[in-house]
Structure 1
């Protein structure tokens, strides 16, 4: 595909229509800045007529001075269009139902009335000097002759780009190819597509549309949106660039960073096996795979897409399928040298732990290696002495941590959205002079039942150099378990940092 494809992001509009998702204006502004950094071409900032809050957030984004074009959504109604114009957007995306099922049962208009409304809306937008995108809503269930007629009519009215939406996600890739191909033969202005993921093929449908002549694809970060969501931004972009060889303006090294931001603000967490941005996207456990990857990454990775291209990192994960090479590499990364006999014993014990259903952390590897080698490994730069947490319905959760850091006693306090957040922030504040860490992974699992259940917290931390360490701890107090796991991980990380600096 030797052409340029522009990317239209609708995370802040269709993405926010995900059931249960509601973003604040500040969060929307932060996401908009991130999408601008990512290189999105057009950002659909919202549906201004839907609420005063949405109108104000669209206006704030439009006035932010971003490089991308800011777009607002509007029905083919003057009040919608005027509200969009009031926000100062660069483009208005106007739409009307064109399929018989929607036209008859929702807006109750004739084909002639819909055609007139569409043309009038486009002319109104263009008379106000703003770019215009027109969508024939439910295009994929609209009679092709009528669909072509309405697209040609809005083109004649001055429309800048038309959108072919698969509103209810019922297209197959081959049908999408033929539909977009047929439309592209009738009009001269650019074609954009908006595919829903009801059958899990929104990305495939979007790519086939691009093959057939579409020059712009609508996406959302993490594929969020109405019902089963929309075409996933990362998947569409990396397929276009790595498989098709097409060009986009996306700075792909920020894809993971962007995914994590939207995940945090929406509360919708990506499964580990999510392509490209998932925790396991570049993770390897199987002995055959890890041996190959450690020798040459392309043996068991696509090659045309590397973890570095998307802001990710390759991980070797220890577990029941781990081989000798993976364990040896993990030990070497921690500065631990073993004999062949010791390595075999460490591998045996790691597999035995994993066979019991436990996830292997860096702390487990250190503990097993220390026992097999018969000596302490590393040092405790941080030794926790006291942890206090204050929380109630009337006060902001506050944590105070006292510890020996190096050879000196240190005390730090911080506030958070909850007691665990406050405690984690206090620890991060305390060790700021040694290293800066951010939380990459945080999981809580109850391992006994009842009101006094024992909970196990697994935590992954990353330092400023991108090194990641995992550890876990168990306690009846989740805050205590969280801090214990965090401090264990940081101590291992600081040992790795010392090793790294000596090399």
Structure 2
């Protein structure tokens, strides 16, 4: 079936089916805020927000959502799952102000007989009673055919009879669930095509599950086969392996198949973050469209290609989703990766300084997974501050800290051409390091200058693996000296700042000796 020009409706069921995710329970306020975001910002066509008769809190949430939707003429797009229960679900939904019931019927003979202990005729009679009750109270009815995928496979005649005998019941959408996520795209295509051809006057939805990782592919097959609407959830929430991702479904329907949809893509990432926050379920950094890393180029060759002509761009541009392309900094970074990040920060460096900064980035990348653009100013400051002095080099360092015990440090350090080792104890790792260093320096006739200020900073963002910048101010005979160090470990950042101080003062002393003057500053 040609997709060109055909509009496919999207129903998001994050607030109902998504809440069946283990450990997820949205509060009424959270449900209201998500409903607003989905309908008003993302602009999905319909939302399913609850199951009837669950709790008083659920009833309050539905009532708040409906009240808000009424003011914006959106109430017909808010749906609630109901059951064949003699009208109790209808009454519950009606009392909350609901307009649409998604009635759950048995879409497989196995469920009808095994779970209900009824024949198709008996079940149909019960379904009709509920539909008539809903109609009498002004509710629109859609019908879920639970376990339709297995029911159609095992006994399609049961499914045909169920739909045929309810075709005149005023049902808006017949919804075809792959309840256990067992279908493949080929099976979905054949089954949905058959239903659409067999019942041309009816509207069919497809409701996937992701047990085999095929939910999005199955949605696309259903849409191509003629489904009027497809169901999904934000971040694939749902029972077991979840549902189909709203972001993946929307983008693929639009880009790969050419369907018309109403989704505003610029809000997909935002609603994904809201659902992450409210559900407590983190998505993978490489989740398509909404993952933290999906618009990040890591390899230097990719950054180079983009700089020379956007060679690694596709239709999935970050700007579509109100996001920004990033170029990772780490051991795989190249000159173009650095250049792209400098452009973003509006920093101009000479070729020589870029080379030095890139060298430092690669060194850090060997010991740290990634370096962010927020880390870059720290690295630049550290590199540009360096005068390439090489009088003192830390060759080895072990620091141990324990609760209610002194910290211990063992160091191996080169001072010019001599190698020294020492151990020290102190109140914390850095104090223990300076204790060990002081022992080495004392033997050389040196003493550490007084430490007058100690400041630690990390970039914004709250990452526990962020680079740390430690700035230390020292009181020397020539006045205050401020040095800094950068490292993923706070203690080693302070140690780097200390070694920089040591190199500067040793270099000053050497320069004064060469000039024939009495050294004015001993470490």
* TM-score of the two chains, using structure 2 as the length reference: 0.71
CA 1:441–1:296: 2 relative to 1, 3 Å = farther
Does residue 308 of the first structure (1) align with residue 316 of the second (2)?
no
Report deviation, 1:353.
1.1
* Residue equivalent to 1:337: 348
CA 1:63–1:330: 2 relative to 1, 3 Å = same
Does residue 295 of the first structure (1) align with residue 299 of the second (2)?
no
Gaps of 5+ in 2: 388-458, 469-485, 492-523
**Contact kept? 2:375, 2:467, Cα under 8 Å:** no
Report deviation, 1:206.
0.8
In 2, the alpha carbon distance for the partners of 1:441 and 1:256 equals: 17
CA 1:216–1:19: 2 relative to 1, 3 Å = same
Q: 2:15 aligns with which of 12, 18, 30?
A: 12
**Contact kept? 2:360, 2:383, Cα under 8 Å:** no
In 2, the alpha carbon distance for the partners of 1:254 and 1:440 equals: 23
What is the SS of the residue equivalent to 1:192? strand
Q: 2:192 aligns with which of 161, 180, 196?
A: 180
Deviations 1:63-119 (A, max 9, x none): 112444111110122212221222221211001223233223322222222222223
Gaps of 5+ in 1: 377-438, 446-455, 459-470, 477-503
* Residue equivalent to 2:227: 214
Deviations 1:265-309 (A, max 9, x none): 111111100000001111111111112223344x22322x32121
Q: 2:67 aligns with which of 63, 68, 72?
A: 63
* Residue equivalent to 2:165: 153
* TM-score of the two chains, using structure 1 as the length reference: 0.73
Q: 1:101 aligns with which of 110, 113, 128?
A: 110
CA 1:134–1:363: 2 relative to 1, 3 Å = closer
**Contact kept? 2:99, 2:138, Cα under 8 Å:** no
Does residue 444 of the first structure (1) align with residue 471 of the second (2)?
no
Does residue 126 of the first structure (1) align with residue 135 of the second (2)?
yes
In 1, the alpha carbon distance for the partners of 2:185 and 2:159 equals: 19
What is the SS of the residue equivalent to 1:50? coil
Deviations 1:10-64 (A, max 9, x none): 1110111111011110111111111112111111110121222112211211111
Does residue 355 of the first structure (1) align with residue 363 of the second (2)?
no
Report deviation, 1:440.
8.8
Q: 1:236 aligns with which of 225, 249, 254?
A: 249
In 2, the alpha carbon distance for the partners of 1:474 and 1:118 equals: 65
In 2, the alpha carbon distance for the partners of 1:99 and 1:301 equals: 46
Does residue 116 of the first structure (1) align with residue 119 of the second (2)?
no
* Residue equivalent to 1:320: 331
**Contact kept? 2:328, 2:370, Cα under 8 Å:** no
Q: 2:49 aligns with which of 31, 34, 45?
A: 45
Report deviation, 1:154.
1.9
In 1, the alpha carbon distance for the partners of 2:467 and 2:271 equals: 26
Deviations 1:445-478 (A, max 9, x none): 6xxxxxxxxxx689xxxxxxxxxxxx997569xx
CA 1:347–1:88: 2 relative to 1, 3 Å = same
What is the SS of the residue equivalent to 1:218? strand
CA RMSD of aligned residues (A): 2.4
Aligned length in residues: 391
Equivalent runs, 1:15-26 vs 2, <5 Å: 15-26=18-29
Equivalent runs, 1:418-437 vs 2, <5 Å: none
* Residue equivalent to 1:413: none
In 2, the alpha carbon distance for the partners of 1:440 and 1:224 equals: 30
CA 1:133–1:363: 2 relative to 1, 3 Å = closer
What is the SS of the residue equivalent to 2:167? helix
Does residue 135 of the first structure (1) align with residue 139 of the second (2)?
no
* Residue equivalent to 1:191: 204
What is the SS of the residue equivalent to 1:140? helix
* Residue equivalent to 1:262: 275
